Amino acid sequence: MKILVTGGAGFIGSAVVRHIIANTSDAVVNVDKLTYAGNLESLAEVCDSPRYAFEQVDICDREQIDRVLCEHQPDAIMHLAAESHVDRSISGPSEFIQTNIIGTFNLLEASRLYWQGLGQDRKSLFRFHHISTDEVYGDLEGVDDLFTEITPYQPSSPYSASKASSDHLVRAWGRTYGLPVLITNCSNNYGPCHFPEKLIPLVILNALEGKALPVYGKGNQVRDWLYVEDHARALYKVVTEGVAGETYNIGGHNQKQNIEVVKILCTLLDELCPESPHRPHAGLITYVQDRPGHDQRYAIDARKIQRELGWVPSETFESGIRKTVEWYLKNTQWVAHVKNGSYQQYIDQHYSNRPVQP
């Protein structure tokens, strides 16, 4: 099959694209606007595959989305394109409303008309898979509570509110128009190619430079951590085996306080970088004022996807976080390009003279 992936140059999207090209015979069309967080260098290992195509398109541009669907004729859409950083949503929410809500609406409408025009066989197999977040559920109160697929939505930030809105749109297009939709809500991802504004890559890179490791409040916020390559496997399983109309929660079974995560990273860096002048790295931990509306605890109940689709995470937090630190230590060029902004020129260097695939 041919799968169109929106946001395929982002952190999770690039993991999905790499997984599909490396482990299946499917083709991928990567549609990405290439904002600051879109990095084609994260796809260097697959960009020469004849089963991979790239389109630099904004999902808010309906005319271009219609063109891409018409030209590439995908059998499924995996919608990952989104603004996703909570702090950015607090300081500038308008981009989140535009991309996450209006962009999803545009994509749904274009997909609906495309799907309605397919032959019966292809129409029955088509899927629109919307990838969302556990943050739409808000804050868990009890220490043993878990988010399930029927937990009421109570988003706390402009980011999570915009994602909640997009989830509702997807369900409405499924209910009203019969579009065969799937929704997944995941816990916090970590792993290779993570843009260094998020907690884990920020701590790794700041520690290596001897900079402060900022921790909100006391760092006692609890998150369920999911290794991004495990998430990519789960997403592919959902789009190929999931039941249309269903929602699946995807979690890593790894609940940790933020301060615990930071200290684990410091210990690993002490071990893996014995010559670092900043050891012990835990001495760089700095507690800063908490952000507004900060949810204290997220935790996913992922029993449904295990029971119905047979997916479980392969990585423990201990194995996944070690792989993550080792990846950042080995991929210094990727890190350098992100820091100096040169990764944004990758498209000119690698695509300007390449013919467009039919």
* Predicted pLDDT at 348: 58
| Alpha helices, H only, 117-227 | 120-125, 158-177, 199-208
Give the residue-averaged pLDDT of 331-351.
Answer: 75
Model confidence at 346, pLDDT cuts 50, 70, 90, reads low
* Predicted pLDDT at 143: 75
Angle ∠(341,195,111) on CA atoms, nearest 5: 100
Model confidence at 351, pLDDT cuts 50, 70, 90, reads very low
Q: What is the pLDDT of residues 249-293, one digit of tens each?
A: 999 989 999 999 999 999 999 999 999 999 999 999 999 888 787
Q: What is the pLDDT of residues 89-134, one digit of tens each?
A: 998 999 999 999 999 999 999 999 999 999 999 999 999 999 999 9
Burial code of 7-28, b = ≥16 C-beta within 10 A, e = fewer? Answer: bbbbbbbbbbbbbbbeeeebbb
* Predicted pLDDT at 342: 72
* Predicted pLDDT at 120: 96
Per-residue pLDDT for 356 more than 50?
no
* Predicted pLDDT at 289: 87
* Predicted pLDDT at 81: 97
* Predicted pLDDT at 295: 79
* Predicted pLDDT at 341: 79
Angle ∠(237,170,17) on CA atoms, nearest 5: 35
Per-residue pLDDT for 355 more than 80?
no
* Predicted pLDDT at 88: 87
Model confidence at 138, pLDDT cuts 50, 70, 90, reads very high
Lowest mean pLDDT segment, chosen from 67-81, 199-213, 255-269, 340-354: 340-354
Percent with pLDDT over 70 in the chain: 96
Per-residue pLDDT for 86 more than 90?
no
Model confidence at 357, pLDDT cuts 50, 70, 90, reads very low
Backbone angles phi, psi at 52, to 5 degrees: -120, 135
Per-residue pLDDT for 84 more than 90?
no
138, amino acid identity:
G
Per-residue pLDDT for 20 more than 70?
yes
Average pLDDT, the chain: 93
- Torsion angle, CA of 295/137/93/43, rounded to 10 degrees? 100
Give the residue-averaged pLDDT of 219-239.
Answer: 96
* Predicted pLDDT at 349: 59
Percent with pLDDT over 90 in the chain: 84
Instruction: Classify domain 2-193+226-253+298-315+341-351 at the CATH class level.
Output: alpha beta
Q: Which of 291, 316, 318, 304 is nearest to 89 (CA)?
A: 291
Query: Which residues are CB-neighbours of 63 under 8 A, at least 6 positions away?
Result: none
* Predicted pLDDT at 358: 32
Model confidence at 61, pLDDT cuts 50, 70, 90, reads very high
The residues that are catalytic are 134-135, 159
Model confidence at 37, pLDDT cuts 50, 70, 90, reads confident
Give the residue-averaged pLDDT of 290-312.
Answer: 91
- Percentages (nearest 5) of helix, strand, coil residues in the chain: 45, 15, 35
